[in-house]
Amino acid sequence: MSLFFSFFWEMLRTSGPWLVISFIICGLLHGVLRPDAFQRALGNKKLSSIVKAVLSGMLLPMCSCGVLPLTLGLYYSGAYLGPTLAFLVAVPIINPAALILSFALLGPQITVIYLICGFTLPVIVGVTANKFGGSLIKSPYVQLQDLALVNKNNDLVNKRAPLALRLVNGLKWGFQELAVQTCRFIVLGTAFAALLLAIMPGSFIQTYFSSPDFISVISAVILGAVMYVCATGHIPFIAAIVSAGAAPGTALAFLLAGVSTNIPEMVSIWKLIGRRAVLIYTGIVVVFGILAGYAANRLLADSFVPQFDLSQSEKGIQVSGYLTLQFPDVFKTACAAAIAVIGFYSWTMYCLRIYRARCSR
């Protein structure tokens, strides 16, 4: 039990600062963005909108859980499902810090494949989501929210209110609505992920990473898809097991699937967007990770040499560190506590609503 709580708390401390920052960014954007202009940029099925979302995601050094609130903010503000999911996949895979660290520790061969896959995967996810998103293609809450704002205060909708007032209202929305909805499922999903890590022996991972066979790639992808994996945090781990003899494509498949999705993310998307979005998003990530990993194993079968050498990699690690925000321990702990409190509050309110509904029958 102590191991479970240790994993749970450490994952909250890792994702907490990014979650808080995302709530702030979402709130500010919600307060200043004009809905009509935003929807013209990402509220359509054009391939250019998906590419814009992917390129924007490349510049943000965030983990998958940290970008989730920002992604939901995009969707609730009018972005179509395709650009929304493309952005969600792109951010943790191909941010600058992850690419530089990958080059330093995994070498140019894996890094080039990683970059190609990191751009191609979110584009495929976005195109598929736009084609098969059905009723989820556009958030049903967008028009309702706009109508509610019009009835409440027409000046806010038309952005004629003072900037300070719009920012304050945006931050209130970010923490009182988006955070309350999101943290409930992030806390629950993080608990599931921590339980998996607590009961899974460490030798299991290295055993299934050592073979280039198809079944090993599948096992690595499935394992990565349910675990909480931070791209920059786990690249040294990937480099270590590759240098110890793990197949490069198998490690690449784990990294692609791991940083693209995890249980907290899947639970949140299921509840806050819809089941079809999870099936499209997770299904493509898993299938793509399997194919990319197997292809990389075959492509690098005779030419791959492990890159990991601490003396040669030190410069790349330092540059990657400059591109990755380092949060003080106190701030990480405070953010983790805030996420836990908001999540507990959200579940309490949810249970009370259910209890009152049953009592009123």
Neighbours of 192 (CB within 10 A): 17
**Domain encompassing residue 130:** 2-359
Residue 210 CA to its chain's centroid (Å): 27
pLDDT grade, residue 317 (50/70/90)? very low
The answer to whether 121 touches 85, Cβ cutoff 8 Å, is no
Q: What is the number of domains present in the chain?
A: 1
Handedness of CA 177, 22, 77, 138 (dihedral sign): negative
Tokens of 215: 């079944």
Interior CA angle at 51 toward 295 and 288, to 5°? 25
The answer to whether 116 touches 96, Cβ cutoff 8 Å, is no
The answer to whether 86 touches 57, Cβ cutoff 8 Å, is yes
The residue that leads in pLDDT, 30 or 207, is 30
Tokens of 311: 């003396």
Among candidate residues 283, 204, 208, the one with its CA nearest the CA of residue 245: 208
pLDDT value at residue 79:
86
Give the model confidence (pLDDT) of 240-285 as tens digits: 667 666 778 887 888 888 767 777 778 888 888 888 998 998 899 8
What's this model's pTM, rounded to 2 decimal places?
Answer: 0.69
pLDDT value at residue 75:
86
Q: What is the DSSP letter of 44?
A: S
- Could you write out the DSSP letters of every residue in 191-206? HHHHHHHHHS-HHHHH
The residue that leads in pLDDT, 155 or 128, is 128
Please give the average per-residue pLDDT across 314-321, as a whole number. Answer: 50
Among candidate residues 335, 273, 303, 348, the one with its CA nearest the CA of residue 82: 273
Residue 135: φ, ψ to 5°: -70, -15
The answer to whether 335 touches 286, Cβ cutoff 8 Å, is no
**36 vs 240: CA distance, rounded Å:** 49
Is 110 strand, coil or helix?
helix
Residue 263: φ, ψ to 5°: -60, -45
Please give the average per-residue pLDDT across 155-182, as a whole number. Answer: 74
Run of H or E residues at 358 = helix 329-359
Interior CA angle at 216 toward 210 and 222, to 5°? 120
Give the model confidence (pLDDT) of 41-68 as tens digits: 777 888 989 998 888 877 765 666 667 7
The residue that leads in pLDDT, 111 or 305, is 111
